Amino acid sequence: MKLNRRIFLGSGVAAAASLKAPALLAQGHGKPRVVVIGGGAGGATAARYLTKDSEGALDVTLVEPSRSYFTCFFSNLYLGGFKEIDDLGHTYGTLAAKYGINVVHDWAVDVDRDGKTVTLAGGASLPYDKLILSPGIDFVDGAVGGWSLAAQNAMPHAYKGGSQTELLRAQVDAMPEGGVFAMVAPPNPYRCPPGPYERVSMIAHRLKAANPTAKIIVADPKGKFSKQSLFEEGWANHYPGMIDWVGEDFGGGEVSVDPAAMTVTIDGEETEVHACNVIPAMKAGRIAEMAGVTEGNWAPVNAADMSAKADPDVYVLGDAAQQGDMPKSGFSANSQAKVCANAVRGALTESRVFPAKFSNTCWSLIDANNGVKVGATYEATEEKIAKVDGFISEVGETSDVRRATYEESEGWYAGIVADMFS
């Protein structure tokens, strides 16, 4: 009887302990250490969920060079004049103060997977038990003839948040009356499939008010693009005659630029332009390549937990990951981060790991209160993150439906930045 009682009490204490203070599986040094590289949609969410749910059992360091993260999501609305730049900026103070995350503002410049350390530009070395990489994207060198990062002031990409977006808007505003805006669109796969076309819509909205005889040319290496029928309907209704989309079949992939002369040559025909947005082909943020977890341009991952195929102790989230069917979006990165945080916490503390489920919706604004969306749910298979089912806005929807879709997107933005930073 006494023995039973002791066993009962013992197991009860163990159960309480597993709720309050999870078992520590990394041996030889205090708490298990997780280093997260990149404080964007994937990395900030992962760091927050790791600490929020682990009750102090993990030592989490977030490495991010910027003190303010300017979201790319909704940056097109800034270009259209629907947002101010400050609406897009978010800081890391709450992650440090409320969750105890060690926020280090520096660049990660090397990863030693054998020694399990990350080296920072400032010289520090961070040991880890698990490493999460969410560095976003970099551009493929030489992808657009005549363009390099050295030309990003003359012809901005505006595909990383912040100053580039401000520069692009200033250049659109400075266009002469009846001037030409050109966009060089990227090949698949790339960050935010509808992003370039929402951007065209928002720049058209801005020009329609300030410079209505201006023209927009889009040189596109693709034969079709995300939500194409919805954008084409919107462009015909709101910006008739303003936008010329030159797709693959019309030589849109045969493009080069001259940033000094401000010309764009499409399929042999040179055009003088007054503002030009070059969005080159993309690849995983360079630190993923330096960590040796990429194959080609992206980092292949296991769908169940986002661990890299190259290393079970390294995880890759968001745009940098080659994961299967999900588009490269902030929503996807946030969704993947929660699955990853749950798996990493489980691996380090024996806490419960739930089956991986993912979701995504990409909203786009075509004109004031004219929002459209595409989305899907996903599951983890052995092979990849696989689409389960999806939905998309329809051509010809009423203005009430489009307004409701736009309002939904506003709610989503507030929700995701809270899920990352507060």
Which region, judged by CB under 6 A, interacts with ligand FAD, from 34-42, 176-184, 220-228, 341-349? Answer: 34-42
Residue in this structure with the two tokens 């329809």, named with its chain if needed: 394
Interface with ligand FAD includes 221 (CB under 6 A)?
A: no
291 is an interface residue for ligand FAD by CB under 6 A = no
The residue from 220, 258, 319, 325 that contacts ligand FAD (CB under 6 A) is 319
Burial of residue 238 (number of CB atoms within 10 Å: 0-12, 13-18, 19+): middle
Across-strand partners of 335? none
- Give the β-pairing of 180-184 and 282-284: unpaired
Stretch that binds ligand FAD, among 63-71, 217-225, 369-377, 380-388 (CB under 6 A): 63-71
Helix (H, G, I), strand (E, B) or coil at 168: helix
Asked whether position 51 contacts ligand FAD by CB under 6 A, the answer is no
Task: Assess 326 for contact with ligand FAD (CB under 6 A).
Answer: no
Q: Is residue 63 close enough to count as binding ligand FAD by CB under 6 A?
A: yes
Assess 331 for contact with ligand FAD (CB under 6 A): yes
- Residues 323 and 133: their CA atoms lie apart, in Å, by 14
CA–CA gap between residue 243 and residue 236 (Å, rounded): 9
Residues 344-363 that bind ligand FAD (CB under 6 A): 362-363
Closest CA to 195 of 219, 155, 166, 225: 225
Compare residues 84 and 272 and give the one whose CB is closer to ligand FAD.
84
Alpha carbons 404 and 407: distance in angstroms, whole number: 5
Instruction: Kindly indicate which of the ranges 68-76, 179-187, 256-264, 344-352 contains the residues binding ligand FAD, using the contact rule CB under 6 A.
Output: 68-76
Instruction: Name the DSSP class of 149.
Output: G
For residues 305 and 382, give the distance between their C-alpha atoms in angstroms, rounded to a whole number: 11
Is residue 38 a contact residue for ligand FAD (CB under 6 A)?
Answer: yes
Closest Cα to residue 165, out of 206, 217, 210? Answer: 206
- Round to whole Å and give the CA distance between 37 and 106: 10
Q: Which residue's CB is nearer to ligand FAD, number 56 or number 93?
A: 93
Among 26, 41, 95, 372, binds ligand FAD (CB under 6 A): 41
Q: For residue 10, list its beta bridge partners.
A: none
Amino acid at 421: F
Binding residue for ligand FAD (CB under 6 A) from 183, 285, 323, 417?
285
Q: Which of 40, 162, 253, 371 binds ligand FAD (CB under 6 A)?
A: 40
Residue nearest to ligand FAD (CB): 40
Here's the x/- map for ligand FAD, 7-26, by CB under 6 A: it reads as --------------------
Contact code string over 243-282 relative to ligand FAD, x by CB under 6 A: ----------------------------------------
Q: What is the H or E stretch that residue 64 is in?
A: none
Instruction: Please tell me the distance from the alpha carbon of residue 354 to that of residue 349, in angstroms, as a whole number.
Output: 14
Least distance from ligand FAD to the Cβ atom of residue 284, Å: 9
Q: Phi, psi at residue 209, to the nearest 5°?
A: -80, -40
Which residues, in sequence order, are bridge partners of residue 219? 184, 246
Could you list the residues that contact ligand FAD (CB under 6 A)? 37-43, 63-66, 69, 72-73, 75-76, 107-108, 134-136, 159, 191-192, 195, 199, 285, 287, 318-320, 328-331, 333, 362-363
